[in-house]
Amino acid sequence: MLQNQRNNPVLLRTGNSSVNVSLTSGANPSIIGDNLVFTATISPNTATGAVQFLDGGTPISDAIQLTNGSASFATANLGLGNHAISVRYTGDSRDSASSSAALSQNVVKGNASVNVSLTAGTNPSLVGASLTFTAGVAPANATGTVVFFDGTFAISGNVPLAGGSASFTTAALSAGTHSITAQYSGDGTFNGATSPAFTQAVNTPKANTSTVVVLSVGTNPSTFGATLTFSAHVTPATAAGTVIFFDGANPISGSIPVSSGTASLTTSTLGAGTHSITAQYSGNAAFNGSNSPALTQTVAKAKTAVELDTAERDSSFKPGTPLTFVASITPTNATGTVTFFDGNTPISNAVPVSNGKANFTTSSLSSGTHSISARYSGDANFNSSSSGQLKVKVK
């Protein structure tokens, strides 16, 4: 320590200091708006006092007191571009003031992403249909505008973003396949971006058709087993494609090609009852499909006949002799049961019909003449019927 002429003590700094600045939190380059932490480190680390951070010589912080030879400053306010971040150390009673070399911090725009979706209309659509395409830009706080393109051709003006999206409506797309993209302009914070392509198909409107179904062969009402032909007539007659016939909700045909506007189905399998016959036209590239009104076809049960005979082919028998009675039903595809009678008295239970026949064997007929008959029950498609009486003598 020295004294001046007035005997006042003067403290002399005997140590030199050095200071450096480093980025201790964040990236370099960083994205605008990112939080960055710069740290100043003083040598010797026993130095006290304060530091101030500067950007190109302009202070960006207040004086910050050193702790254990370091001080930090956080900011998210650096603008776009390169920044020369330095630190100025004020010095203390033992260490001289000093300034750091500059740290070059580069601040760039963030990247945005954009996609296109169809938010109103259909895909595929028809020529002249109104379609709304919406571009969604992420992050949602991006501002700026979007231009919509069909291939390389702009189909919109600059559409402002609102809440991260921009929409464009058009009814002017021609028939064919269109590759719709959205080009985001970017703004002061985010880079521009172009969306992946959205493929929109636009078809030429098809002509409408009408279909009717008529009974072209057979009668109405008809009888079960009768051959019926239903014909579907499609208008216009130039319409190609196929027709499927339905009975109510159940298909009763495969896909039958339309020829000169007509497709026909022949069947003899409609069950007894009422049938709602319709025809469904498929449509093709030029014509829309159509469904016919229902044709109501009534099918009556078929008549049957019963012939009764004995397996023994005789008319006179001894008491206790087993006798087998055979009832033959016509048509032979009739199902159901047969009950055998002696006069008006049943002598059997209901015997199932198999392949058009029902057999009953008994050995309990008493002496005398018996009038044996067979009564067929009928089924869903066949009426009931009875045989004539077969006279059998037991003596």
Show the domains of the chain with their CATH numbers: 2-108 (2.60.40.10), 113-203 (2.60.40.10), 210-300 (2.60.40.10), 305-394 (2.60.40.10)
**Alpha-carbon gap, residue 372 to 309, rounded angstroms:** 9
Residue 1 has a pLDDT of 41
- pLDDT tens for 20-54 read 999 999 999 999 999 999 999 999 999 999 999 99
Residue 6 has a pLDDT of 53
Residue 163 has a pLDDT of 95
- pLDDT tens for 286-336 read 899 999 999 999 999 999 999 999 988 776 789 998 999 999 999 999 999
Residue 3 has a pLDDT of 45
Residue 116 has a pLDDT of 97
Low-confidence spans in the chain with pLDDT less than 50: 1-4, 10, 13
Residue 5 has a pLDDT of 53
**What residues contact 180, with CB distance under 8 A and at least 6 apart?**
116, 133, 148, 149, 150, 197, 198, 199, 200
Residue 314 has a pLDDT of 72
Residue 8 has a pLDDT of 55
Strand partners, 210: 235
